[in-house]
Amino acid sequence: MKRRLFRRRANAPGTLAPEDQAVVEAVCSMLAALKHPTPWTPGSGQDIAVRVGPFIERGHPRPGDDRGPDVIALALQHPDVPHARYGDRDTRKGWLRCETSLILGTWQPAYRILTHAAAGLDLPTDLGLPPAHYAVHITRPGRPLLRIGPYTQCRHADHDADRLNQQLQNTSEAGGAATAVPFDFSATDTYQDPHGQDTDDQIPPLRAGTRRAGR
C-alpha cells in the first residue's frame, strides 16, 4: 500500500506562512512522538497507538481483555472523535485481536497525521487484526472435537474451560481437556450451544451449569 504524501507548495524564501509553519510543527511533534513514545501500561484504560500496515491508528482496549501479555482486544477509533466516520463510509470494525508487539505506546495527538483518516482514506478491509471472539474446544481421545462459542470476552471462555476441565476429570473419559481458543469464523456452523441436547448427551456434566456462550 502506498502512503499518501502530504505536500504543500513552497513559498518564497523568508518567513513561513502560518499554514506551512503548522505543518512543520505537526511533523516535528510526530517525529518526537515516534522517537520517544509514551509507554502504555496494560489495564490502564488508556487509548493506544497501534501499527496497522504502514499507518498508525488509535485503539481503545477492551476492559478485561487489555492485560496481554501477548494479545489484547481493542477497537480502532477515529483519531479525533470516537466512532466518527473514515472517508465516505462508516468502517467500524468492532473488537479486534491485537498482538502487543504492534502497540507503539499510549496514543498521542501527534500521531494523527500518520492515520488513514488524515490521508482521507477508509480503513482497509484487511487490517491484519482478526475479530476478538473466543471459543472453548473440548478434546477427548477417540471422540470428535467439540466447539462451544462464540464468547465475546476471553475471561468468560477461560472461566468455562476451567469448569469443563473439572467436570471432565469426574468422567470416565481420561485425557479429555477443554481449552479457550480464538473463535474460528470460517467454521461457525461447527460450534454448539453448551446447553444443546447433543452436547449434553456427549458430556453429561455440561448440563450442570455451564455458562451460555455468545456474551
- Parallel, antiparallel, or unpaired for β 103-106 and 134-139? unpaired
Q: What's the pLDDT tens digit per position in 26-43?
A: 888 888 888 999 999 988
Q: What's the pLDDT tens digit per position in 116-166?
A: 988 988 888 888 898 888 889 999 888 888 899 888 777 788 888 898 888
- For residue 114, what pLDDT is reported? 92
- For residue 173, what pLDDT is reported? 63
pLDDT-based confidence at residue 207 (cuts at 50, 70, 90)? very low
- For residue 65, what pLDDT is reported? 81
Q: What's the pLDDT tens digit per position in 65-116?
A: 888 788 888 888 888 876 555 544 444 567 888 999 999 999 999 999 999 9
pLDDT at 51 over 90: yes
Report CA-CA distances (Å) from 69 to 15, 43, 50, 119, 178: 49, 11, 15, 32, 21
Dihedrals phi, psi of 171, to nearest 5 degrees: -105, 175
- For residue 57, what pLDDT is reported? 94
State the amino acid at position 164 in one-letter form.
Answer: L
The order of strands in the sheet holding 177-182 is: 177-182, 134-139, 146-151, 191-192
CA 4, CA 91: separation in Å to the nearest integer?
19
Question: pTM for this one?
Answer: 0.62
Cell of 147: 466447539
- For residue 32, what pLDDT is reported? 86
| Residues 6+ away with beta carbon under 8 Å from 6 | 23, 113, 118
The domain segmentation of the chain, as residue ranges, is 18-114, 134-207
CA 173, CA 141: separation in Å to the nearest integer?
8
Beta carbons of 127 and 96 less than 8 angstroms apart: yes
